[in-house]
Amino acid sequence: MSLSKKLFLTLAPLVFLGLFPVLLSAQDTMGKQPDTMGKQAAMSITGCLKQGTDTAGYYLMADGKMYEVMAGKGVSLAEHVGHTVTLAGHTVKLSAAEEAKKEAGEKKEAGSSPYADFQVTSLKHVSATCSQ
């Protein structure tokens, strides 16, 4: 057997074993990619729930930002318009088509404030009035 074959047969397993941890770490990070629906970490916001320009639309101003809120399963927003509420949920990134439909209303409601879409998972009633 030639020297180059012996060298290859000796080094090939060493190279493979050296790369094995790198391959494993790449596999671990694959499951940690951002959600394809644009879903963010859970958070809560407190403020005055208002009726949006769209009949089924609602928004809330919190921390200098306007949140266009969308009710999740089992959450009723209509009965809390004009009340101070704490909403739990997460911001979402809508598709370009959905965002284009809502953008004009969001800009009108937000004024010069930044805005985001917020999916509500639960609602806590704080006050029957708004202090704003």
Question: Model confidence over 75-97: pLDDT tens digits?
Answer: 889 899 999 999 999 988 877 77
Round to whole Å and give the CA distance between 60 and 75.
Answer: 15
Q: What is the pTM of this model?
A: 0.61
Spell out the domain ranges in the chain: 1-31, 43-127
3-state SS assignment for residue 113: coil
| CATH classification code of 43-127 | 2.40.50.200
Question: Model confidence over 15-54: pLDDT tens digits?
Answer: 666 665 655 554 443 343 444 455 567 899 999 999 888 7
3-state SS assignment for residue 121: strand
Which one is predicted more confidently, 124 or 57? 124
Q: 76 near 87, Cβ under 8 Å?
A: no
Residue range 63-73: average pLDDT? 87
What's the mean per-residue pLDDT of the chain?
76
Round to whole Å and give the CA distance between 64 and 69.
Answer: 15
Question: Model confidence over 100-117: pLDDT tens digits?
Answer: 666 666 666 667 778 888
